[in-house]
């Protein structure tokens, strides 16, 4: 079922006509013309029942004895068939601040995840007739989409080094995939998705401490590796310069001692204290 527009008449003239008929009905009753007065009253009542107010970014879905007639979107005071049953629906953008969900990522680690979804009703006919409650449908399908996304990717590259996309991906690919997944799930309910973003992501409390220690250890190892690589390069450069300029001629044993001293100085965490050798390397 697709949305179709319902035409309507301006309600201001008919509102005034209905009031005039009610006033005429009062005068008719005073003049003891009861039948005419009652007739005028009911005609005026029918005119006023057909009036409806449509606010900006609002629509009214009209049905006639169970048959979908159309959707009224013209703003202001409008008049339609008084026998139409009208259900108003907001077309404004809405925020869904999802609650924290405890799920397992691709590697089986328990994590906490939550998302914020900005959505709106794009097709009023589908929202009303295709699902029982479109707002509840959005809540449930959003939770299902987040659970599916969390189970399809690992939390970080520490767990899955070959993963090109992780839940902590800062490039926005995860948010784009979440938005695409929600769009596919909510289209049948006439709901469009403007934006979807992960608002909370963390390891579950029972493993958060262990994972933090693991991340810290990985960071320390990576930093040490970078320091050692840099120190080795500096030692190679120092030996090459000494040999190139002929400042001093070192045999293999003296080169080994120099390399050892330079690595201690460059890789040590604390400042070193120089020691002056008054003798020779061999005495």
pLDDT of residue 214: 61
Classified by CATH at the fold level, domain 94-203 comes out as Tetrahydropterin Synthase; Chain A (3.30.479)
Q: What is the mean pLDDT of each run of 10 residues along the chain (283 residues)?
A: 89 90 89 87 91 93 93 92 93 91 84 92 94 93 91 73 70 85 93 92 69 61 68 72 66 66 62 56 52
Evaluate whether 193 touches 186 at the Cβ level (below 8 Å): yes
Domain parsing of the chain, residue ranges:
9-89, 94-203, 214-267
- Rounded to the nearest angstrom, the gap between the alpha carbon of residue 118 and the centroid of all alpha carbons in its chain is 7
Q: Give the total residue count for the chain.
A: 283
Q: What b/e readout covers 203-223, taking b as 16+ CB neighbours within 10 angstroms?
A: beeeeeeebeeeeeeeeeeee
pLDDT of residue 194: 93
Evaluate whether 154 touches 98 at the Cβ level (below 8 Å): no
CA distance 44 to 206: 70
Evaluate whether 160 touches 37 at the Cβ level (below 8 Å): no
Evaluate whether 57 touches 91 at the Cβ level (below 8 Å): yes
Paired strand residues for 63: 68, 85
pLDDT of residue 151: 87
Q: Provide the 3-class DSSP secondary structure of residue 72.
A: strand
CA distance 103 to 85: 44
Evaluate whether 59 touches 89 at the Cβ level (below 8 Å): yes
CA distances from 165 to 103, 114, 155, 160, 202 (A): 18, 18, 9, 10, 17
Could you tell me whether strands 94-97 and 67-72 are parallel, antiparallel, or unpaired per DSSP bridges? unpaired
pLDDT of residue 265: 64
């Amino acid at each position: 079922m697709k949305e179709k527009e319902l035409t309507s008449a301006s309600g201001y003239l008919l509102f005034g006509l209905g009031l005039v008929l009610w006033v005429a009905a009062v005068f008719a009753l005073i003049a003891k013309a009861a039948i005419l007065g009652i007739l005028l009253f009911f005609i005026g009542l029918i005119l006023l029942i057909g009036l409806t107010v449509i606010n900006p970014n609002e629509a009214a879905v009209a049905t006639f004895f169970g048959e979908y007639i159309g959707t009224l979107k013209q703003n202001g005071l409008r008049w339609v068939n008084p026998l139409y049953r009208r259900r108003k629906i907001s077309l404004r953008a809405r925020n869904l601040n999802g609650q924290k969900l405890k799920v397992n990522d691709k590697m089986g680690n328990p994590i906490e995840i939550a998302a914020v979804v900005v959505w709106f009703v794009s097709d009023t006919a589908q929202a009303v007739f295709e699902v029982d409650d479109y707002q509840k449908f959005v809540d449930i399908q959003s939770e299902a989409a987040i659970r599916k996304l969390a189970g399809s990717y690992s939390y970080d590259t520490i767990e899955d080094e070959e993963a090109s996309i992780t839940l902590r991906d800062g490039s926005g690919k995860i948010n784009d995939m979440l938005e695409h997944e929600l769009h596919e799930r909510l289209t049948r309910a006439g709901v469009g998705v403007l934006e979807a973003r992960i608002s909370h992501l963390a390891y579950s409390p029972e493993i958060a401490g262990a994972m933090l220690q693991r991340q810290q250890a990985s960071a320390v190892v990576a930093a040490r590796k970078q320091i050692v690589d840099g120190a080795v390069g500096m030692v190679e450069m120092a030996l090459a310069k000494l040999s190139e300029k002929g400042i001093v001629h070192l045999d293999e044993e003296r080169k080994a001692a120099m390399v050892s001293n330079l690595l201690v100085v460059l890789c040590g965490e604390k400042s070193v204290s120089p020691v002056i050798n008054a003798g020779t390397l061999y005495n």
